[in-house]
Amino acid sequence: MTEAIPVARAVDHGFAKLMPDVDRKRAWLLTVDGAPQSYVDLDEPAHLEFEYARRLGHVLDTVAEPGRALDVLHLGGGALTLPRYVAAMRPGSRQDVVEFDRGLLELVVEHLPLADGGAGIGLHTADARTWLEGAPSDSVDALVADVFGGSRVPAQLTSVEYAREAARVLRDGGVYLANLADAAPFAFLRSQLANFAAVFEELVLIAEPGVLRGRRFGNAVLVAAHRPLDTAALARRTASDAFPARVEHGVGLRDFIRGARPVRDAEAVPSPEPPDGTFGIG
């Protein structure tokens, strides 16, 4: 059994800490350079503490009938929260996790081991864009992008060329999900939506009303597919969360994107730096 004592270690790209949750047995918070990255409950892998993770989970719950195994590619590993969730909710799923920071991945595997020895979950240390470009076409049912260099999405994952690579790897009926962060006037978020609108027929954006109204910096989940998404089910699920979110799609989302244009590799930039204190903890 993992001892409930904090663990701190320099990893390849920062300083990581694993801190036990005093309110939940065998639950841990991962931070890198003070910014919360992941939360894992080893006894309840279906428990998603962070709101953005819950929203990603809601999407994964609705992409296919409950319990059906999926092939999933995760860009960004963290503490492997979503791979654990998929394994618990959809037994038999085949998953690949691509994490750039080898030291972070080793820390997580050592102190927060995967259930059943990680059966069905392949762990890879690589650059996310490079891995994606080498992945087989039509090979996954879902692609989850939760990649942050520090507290910013790297520029190589913010272009329309990247969006095309994501579409290539997805099977017919597959779904792309991404955790992004921005604030008004949403230049970055709108450019990302424009990228995926140029490649996919269907888009959904999930975020708290306060974020969408420009009141604060925060997370937004982008969902893209070539088929209609179950927005009614997503709206019900997100409305029941502790911090309810809005599900934007159709005309409302097109109005939000209006005037934004896709960003090519040559002009791509990282996501904006969060304001001081947005995510930081001791």
* Per-residue three-class SS string for 52-88: HHHHHHHHHHHCCCCCCCCEEEEECCCCCHHHHHHHH
Give residue-wise pLDDT tens across range 12-66. Answer: 999 999 999 999 999 999 999 988 999 999 999 999 999 999 999 999 999 999 9
More confident residue, 4 or 51: 51
Distance from C-alpha of 201 to C-alpha of 213, rounded to nearest angstrom: 25
Looking up tokens 């990581």 gives 16
For residue 84, pLDDT over 60 is answered with yes
Q: Binning pLDDT at 50, 70 and 90, where does residue 282 land?
A: very low
> To the nearest 10°, the Cα dihedral for 132, 80, 30, 165?
20
Distance from C-alpha of 103 to C-alpha of 17, rounded to nearest angstrom: 12
Q: Binning pLDDT at 50, 70 and 90, where does residue 276 land?
A: confident
Distance from C-alpha of 111 to C-alpha of 79, rounded to nearest angstrom: 10
Residues ≥6 apart with Cβ < 8 Å to 94: 69, 70, 71, 72, 120
Give residue-wise pLDDT tens across range 244-265. Answer: 999 999 999 999 999 999 999 9
Whether the Cβ atoms of residue 98 and residue 128 lie closer than 8 Å to each other: yes
Measuring CA to CA, which residue among 189, 205, 186 is closest to residue 251? 205
pTM, 2 dp:
0.95
Mean pLDDT confidence for 239-245: 94
Give residue-wise pLDDT tens across range 118-152. Answer: 999 999 999 999 999 999 999 999 999 999 987 89
- The enclosing H or E element of 181 equals strand 170-182
- For residue 176, the model assigns a pLDDT of 98
Identify the structural domains of the chain with CATH numbers, from first to last: 40-267 (3.40.50.150)
Task: Tell me the percentage of the chain whose pLDDT exceeds 90.
Answer: 93
For residue 220, pLDDT over 90 is answered with yes
Q: Binning pLDDT at 50, 70 and 90, where does residue 88 land?
A: very high
Q: Binning pLDDT at 50, 70 and 90, where does residue 3 land?
A: low
Cα→Cα distances 115→91, 146, 166, 204, 232, Å: 12, 22, 28, 32, 33
Q: Binning pLDDT at 50, 70 and 90, where does residue 4 land?
A: confident
